[in-house]
Amino acid sequence: MTRRRSRVARWVNAFAAAWLVALVAPGSAHAETHQIAIVGHAFSPVSMTVHVGDTITWTNSDQAPHDATTTSAPASFRSPTLTTGQSWSYQVTTPGDYAYFCSIHPDMRAQLTVLPADPPPAQQQPAPAQPAPAQPAPAQPIPTQPAKQPDPGTQPGQHQPTEAEQPAVPVQQPAASAAAPTAPSSTSAGTAVAAAASADPKVNPMLLVAALVAGVTVLCLLLLGSRPNQT
């Protein structure tokens, strides 16, 4: 806001300065000073054309005294008597033809033609101050939806099956309890031998006999060990 005000103030100052120059320029643009010498009992130059507002200066360079006095003019003037080296100035304000002479030496005559002041040039109006462009409002950020965090149990890019897509988990049946160890007996030994024989009909019969003998031996040892000691 402060920058905008300073810019407008500069434009106003520039406009005011241009306006003052335009007002003063017409009056002083064509104001000139012209010199007329009085030498050899004559005015030099004898005729001169000037504009309203100009100044004419007469300078006496003769040994004799002289003056400048109008005989017929829209506005009369009369200079004082000028001795050698003296000057006198007069500013013309009325246009027209001025005939003048030296009243001391009447045969010294000259002519002034005063023209109206030139019309002032067309004044160029300064361009109006352009308002400073409005500063665009800062763009408001558009809120974005946070990305959905993947489930900790799944890896990125992995599809998490729904309940309908999940395979059925087979229910594990509890393992059958281990069979309790049975006491070694001849029946179990024989059963084991018979089971082995039925499982593999190609088993060597000698192995079966050896197993049967071993079973009977173990059974006898168990029976002997289970009897109470006799004292």
**Residue-averaged pLDDT of the chain:** 74
19 in any annotated domain: no
Provide the number of structural domains found in the chain.
1
Q: What is the pLDDT of residues 159-174, one digit of tens each?
A: 555 555 555 554 454 4
Q: Is residue 142 part of a domain?
A: no
SS3 21: helix
List residues forming the annotated binding site. 66, 102, 105
Output the CA angle 193-194-195, nearest 5 degrees.
Answer: 90
Range with top average pLDDT, 62-76, 109-123, 184-198? 62-76
Q: Is residue 93 part of a domain?
A: yes
What's the pTM? 0.43
Annotated binding site for Cu cation: 66, 102, 105
How many residues appear in the chain?
231
Which residues, 6+ apart, have CB-to-CB distance to 35 below 8 Å?
A: 56, 57, 59
CATH of the domain at 85: 2.60.40.420
Domain that holds residue 104: 32-120
Report yes or no on 219 lying in a domain: no
Q: Is residue 18 assigned to a domain?
A: no
- pLDDT tens per residue, range 119-151: 766 666 666 677 666 676 666 667 666 556 655
145 belongs to a structural domain: no
Q: Is residue 214 part of a domain?
A: no
Please give the pLDDT value at position 152: 55
Domain-located, residue 137: no
